[in-house]
Chains A and B, each alone.
Chain A
Amino acid sequence: MLEYARWKYILVAAVLLLALLFALPNFFGEDPALQVARKDHNAVDTGASQTVEAFLTQRGVHFLKSYIDNGRLMVRFANVPDQLAARDAVNEQFNGTYITALSFAPRMPEFLRALGLRPMPLGLDLRGGLYLLYQVDVNAAVAQALDGYAQSARRALAAVNIPVTDVTAVAAGTNAVRVVLPATADVGAAKNALNSVFQGLTVSSESLTSGSAITGVLTTAQIRERQDYAIQQNITTLRNRVNELGVSEPIVQRQGIDRINVQLPGVQNSAEVKDILGRVATLEWRLVDTQDSPVEALQTGRVPLGYKLYTHTPSGQPVLLKREVIATGDELTNATSGTSQTGPAVNVKLDARGGDSMLKTTRANVDKPMAVVLIEKRRETSDVDGKKVARDVTDEQVISIATIRGIFSNDFQVTGLTAGEARDLALLMRSGSLATPIYPIEERAVGPSLGRDNIDKGVTALIVGMTGVFLFMAIYYKTFGLVADLVLLANVVLLAALLSMMHQVLSLPGIAGIILTVGMAVDANVLIYERIREEVRKGVSPQAAIRAGFEKAFSAIADSNITTLIAGVVLWVFGTGPIRGFAIVLTFGIATSMFTSLMGSRALLTLMYGGRRKLARLSI
């Protein structure tokens, strides 16, 4: 008798059913689509979606379906001309309220979308688009931090009247702040004064011929933290800007230590994109005018002296702010969302200069409102008499107004927000504050037709290759070969499900990885079947041969797969770009092929042969 534990049957069945569900969205293909988002980043509601639908119907643009996905309206079309006609019409009619982007939408039925399932996104080599690789100047980030320390040190010493010869920030090589004191200075007092400023740094002092020096050195951990922060901040900024471009399914991710890669499907014009991504933004904190009426100022056009009229972006209301700036984004060192005693909050950290100024302001203005202004400078090109004219545009938005609840300096909280608002505000502050310089070092543009061609050829090769393998297995191993074919198919489905679940981008090397995985799965089956044949040749009974085949092949399958797995994981860790994509697919593929060939085929074979009492021979 051949038996297999019931829970294993259930596990195999459950995993395969789930896999089938998750892999399902990939089989429906895609339609050309138009993605419509609101310019002010708010979610598109059903009312807006009905307006757009009605407008398209009225214009006679035929569309298949429209739905709201992640706060954006997706409209699916049967063909590209319809899609283009719709884009032009919507841009013309709703310019200013909506941003449109050409995109692809999965053709899958409604219930799959309702379940939140998605197909694997396709890489740029398969879909066409623009790939940019940015280098982040992490050394500049460290230098900025050191400058902050130097400034604070100068201030701290001046506050206690200690004479200073020189304070320098040395970024290259040493990552140190060096304070040089004249012989007349009291080194002990200076050290005390610097205690709080140099907190966390490795501090040393030495005596010089002309006096003495105190040096604070950033620890490796602090440098790494500073670099990580700079990268993270730049990623947030880039992501926000990419969203503004209205590109659908963009990818912005860290690559290696100091790189950021940006992938924009469907975008072909790199000059415009690079212009927007590379621009600089900053933040300002200002006091709000509580005496004059901003509505009146807006209506009359007369703004009180020393004030400036703004619009509070979240509410759309006008607001008057003092011209005097309390602190700027240059002085912001960190902004994170968290919780305070009264609820969600944004924790803001400023450097010493910003902290001083904030202290003075809050001392005099408790219980008065303060605003955060986001200022963006960008270059806009427009056509004037057929010529491209570039001009610098400054955008100013009031992103938050909060009441000053007490006296604080460089470390404070903004409260009175919902958790979502706190997260958004922290993100806006971080992304708005001046980022570390970045410069593009690589760019690739893949034409959409080449992408199409790549997919077609890759898929044809895949189908022909797989059919060849299936036929060969069925001829060579007869019934067992058919079982192996089913197992191979299950393996591909399982792998597709895993990759879809992880939202892993599928590119050409990934397809190659899938094909290789099929090879590994075949190998596992061959190992088992060859063992079964050996046992049968020895004259062992069919069912005992099956059991022995699985048992004896196990160590070979496990050891050989684990060695390949080691190679896969190393590539995953060390590889970048395409190599990494390949390694991820290979690593998952080894896992799925081990599962399907060890458990799946065992379950199937036991089901087929396990209960048969008079089994004379196996069809192998």
Chain B
Amino acid sequence: MEFFSHQTSYPFMATRKVWYTLSAVLMVVSLASFFTRGLNLGIDFTGGVSAEVSFPRAVNADDVRARLTASGFADPQVRAFGSARDISIRLPPAAKQTATEIRARLETVVKGVDPAATVAQLAVVGPQVGNELKVSAMWALFFTLLLIFGYIAFRFHTWRLSAGAIFAVLHDPILVLGFFALTQMSFDLAVVAAILAVIGYSLNDTVVVFDRIRERFESNRRSPSDVILDQSINQTLSRTIMTKVVTSIVVVALLFLGGAVLKGFSAALLIGIIAGTYSSIYISSAIALDFGLTAEHVFPSVKKEALDHLP
């Protein structure tokens, strides 16, 4: 079986303005919703108390919220996750109360709703932990970008390809962030891990295309750059699609079967994989072309040396 029995020859470079526009629109929408709506940050980032309560039968979240407020819990966020029997409760950071104390108070409240209710999970996180996570995630992203820029520039002899790769690396997480801002799905540490994996995947794709570009330039220095880039992307297209389909099988299984804990993670991965495939096919090489990539950059011609060292 083959998806691409004949070699395709889509004109990716000639149509690149269309893809740039599409990307620009998606990124603007993502950034706009990120800045206007913000992310629904999980407890890992905000600090506070997070609890998961299981009820034997479906309950009304508003009812639980009202009871929590009545028993002195300020500003509780109550939501059903998975089914209406599993309720997630978020409370602002509690001063000087141990998890056991909060759990006991919480248990009294939920048992008032249904005597058979149980508190399945409870976490108390200090806000400064959250702040530090933001900082360390930023540093991680910064160093990843820096090192990858350096590595690609070293292996492919030109910063133009590095620039293309870095653009793709920024492009994909922005779309994932936009997705999370739009849907207001809970943004927790697992999602951060997923975004970082997306960066890895997207890079993987981009570098495979670059590898083919390097190879095409080596065997054919005369052809114009846009022809070489089109050929390279078309020749790796079968592999790009194939790999993404296979990886998506696993991610989709995670999304639907992995339970509530892995939902955000797998959703982020799926969006990221789609965005990454798109950016490595349509965007990253095109950017290198617009920066003026030629065979000369990837394979500098050897300077003619003098015949001998004698004067």
Residues of A within 8 A of B (CB): 125, 131, 133, 256, 269-271, 274, 441-447, 449-450, 453-454, 457-458, 460-462, 464-466, 468-469, 472-473, 475-476, 508-509, 512, 515-516, 518-520, 522-523, 526-527, 530, 533-534, 552, 555-556, 559-564, 566-568, 570-571, 574-579, 582-583, 586
Pairwise interchain contact B257-A566, C-beta atoms closer than 8 A: no
Pairwise interchain contact B196-A567, C-beta atoms closer than 8 A: yes
On whether A508 and B190 interact (CB within 8 A), knowing A522-B243, A526-B242, A556-B212, the answer reads yes
Pairwise interchain contact A446-B121, C-beta atoms closer than 8 A: yes
On whether A562 and B257 interact (CB within 8 A), knowing A442-B125, A571-B196, the answer reads no
CA of A269 to CA of B100 in the docked complex: distance in angstroms?
6
On whether A465 and B261 interact (CB within 8 A), knowing A270-B98, A563-B204, A574-B136, the answer reads no
Pairwise interchain contact B152-A571, C-beta atoms closer than 8 A: no
CA of A556 to CA of B156 in the docked complex: distance in angstroms?
12
CB closest chain-A residue, reference B7: A537
CA of A450 to CA of B259 in the docked complex: distance in angstroms?
11
Chain B residues within 8 Å of A444, by CB: 99, 121-125
Pairwise interchain contact A563-B151, C-beta atoms closer than 8 A: yes
CA of A570 to CA of B152 in the docked complex: distance in angstroms?
16
Pairwise interchain contact B200-A512, C-beta atoms closer than 8 A: no
Chain B residues within 8 Å of A571, by CB: 140, 144, 193, 196
Nearest 5 interchain pairs by C-beta: A465-B253, A457-B259, A465-B250, A444-B123, A519-B247
CB closest chain-B residue, reference A528: B239
CB closest chain-B residue, reference A256: B132
Smallest beta-carbon distance A268→chain B, Å: 9
| The residue from B147, B243, B259 contacting A458, defined by CB atoms under 8 A apart | B259
Smallest beta-carbon distance B84→chain A, Å: 17
Pairwise interchain contact B196-A574, C-beta atoms closer than 8 A: no
Pairwise interchain contact B192-A579, C-beta atoms closer than 8 A: yes
Pairwise interchain contact A579-B257, C-beta atoms closer than 8 A: no
Pairwise interchain contact B52-A450, C-beta atoms closer than 8 A: yes
Pairwise interchain contact B200-A570, C-beta atoms closer than 8 A: no
Chain A residues within 8 Å of B133, by CB: 576
Pairwise interchain contact A579-B189, C-beta atoms closer than 8 A: yes
On whether A457 and B204 interact (CB within 8 A), knowing A444-B124, A466-B250, the answer reads no
Pairwise interchain contact B118-A271, C-beta atoms closer than 8 A: no
Pairwise interchain contact B246-A461, C-beta atoms closer than 8 A: no
| The residue from A450, A465, A523 contacting B249, defined by CB atoms under 8 A apart | A465
CA of A275 to CA of B214 in the docked complex: distance in angstroms?
63
Pairwise interchain contact A567-B129, C-beta atoms closer than 8 A: no
Pairwise interchain contact B151-A570, C-beta atoms closer than 8 A: no
CB closest chain-B residue, reference A445: B122
Pairwise interchain contact B121-A445, C-beta atoms closer than 8 A: yes
Q: Chain B interface: which size bin?
A: 35 or more
Pairwise interchain contact B122-A469, C-beta atoms closer than 8 A: no
Interface string of B68-84 (1 = CB under 8 A from A): 00000000000000000
| The residue from A453, A476, A579, A586 contacting B200, defined by CB atoms under 8 A apart | A586
On whether A468 and B98 interact (CB within 8 A), knowing A441-B126, A574-B139, A574-B143, the answer reads no
Pairwise interchain contact A443-B123, C-beta atoms closer than 8 A: yes
Pairwise interchain contact A575-B257, C-beta atoms closer than 8 A: no
| The residue from A453, A468, A509 contacting B190, defined by CB atoms under 8 A apart | A509
CA of A556 to CA of B214 in the docked complex: distance in angstroms?
10
Interface string of B6-24 (1 = CB under 8 A from A): 0000000000000000000
Chain A residues within 8 Å of B125, by CB: 442, 444
Pairwise interchain contact B196-A458, C-beta atoms closer than 8 A: no
Chain A residues within 8 Å of B207, by CB: 556, 559-560, 563
Additional pairs, 7, CB under 8 Å, beyond known A462-B253, A564-B201, A586-B200: A445-B103, A450-B121, A476-B1, A519-B247, A523-B243, A527-B208, A560-B204
On whether A563 and B259 interact (CB within 8 A), knowing A270-B100, A450-B121, A519-B247, the answer reads no
CA of A405 to CA of B310 in the docked complex: distance in angstroms?
80
CA of A555 to CA of B298 in the docked complex: distance in angstroms?
15
CB closest chain-A residue, reference B239: A530
On whether A574 and B208 interact (CB within 8 A), knowing A443-B124, A447-B120, A568-B200, the answer reads no
Interface string of B103-125 (1 = CB under 8 A from A): 10000000000000011111111
| The residue from B151, B197, B265 contacting A566, defined by CB atoms under 8 A apart | B151
| The residue from A472, A515, A520, A560 contacting B254, defined by CB atoms under 8 A apart | A515
Smallest beta-carbon distance A212→chain B, Å: 42
Pairwise interchain contact B211-A476, C-beta atoms closer than 8 A: no
Pairwise interchain contact A563-B100, C-beta atoms closer than 8 A: no
| The residue from A125, A445, A469, A512 contacting B193, defined by CB atoms under 8 A apart | A512
Pairwise interchain contact A458-B258, C-beta atoms closer than 8 A: yes
On whether A574 and B140 interact (CB within 8 A), knowing A512-B265, A563-B203, the answer reads yes
Smallest beta-carbon distance B263→chain A, Å: 10
Pairwise interchain contact B1-A271, C-beta atoms closer than 8 A: no
CA of A294 to CA of B99 in the docked complex: distance in angstroms?
48
Smallest beta-carbon distance B5→chain A, Å: 9
Cβ of B245 < 8 Å from any Cβ of A? yes
Pairwise interchain contact B238-A579, C-beta atoms closer than 8 A: no
CB closest chain-B residue, reference A524: B243
Cβ of B67 < 8 Å from any Cβ of A? no
| The residue from A518, A526, A567 contacting B250, defined by CB atoms under 8 A apart | A518
On whether A454 and B120 interact (CB within 8 A), knowing A442-B125, A526-B239, A568-B200, the answer reads no
Pairwise interchain contact A564-B257, C-beta atoms closer than 8 A: no
Within 8 A of A (CB), among B251-294: 251-254, 256-259, 261-262, 265, 269
Chain A residues within 8 Å of B211, by CB: 555-556, 559-560
Within 8 A of A (CB), among B170-217: 189-190, 192-194, 196-197, 199-201, 203-205, 207-208, 210-212, 214-215
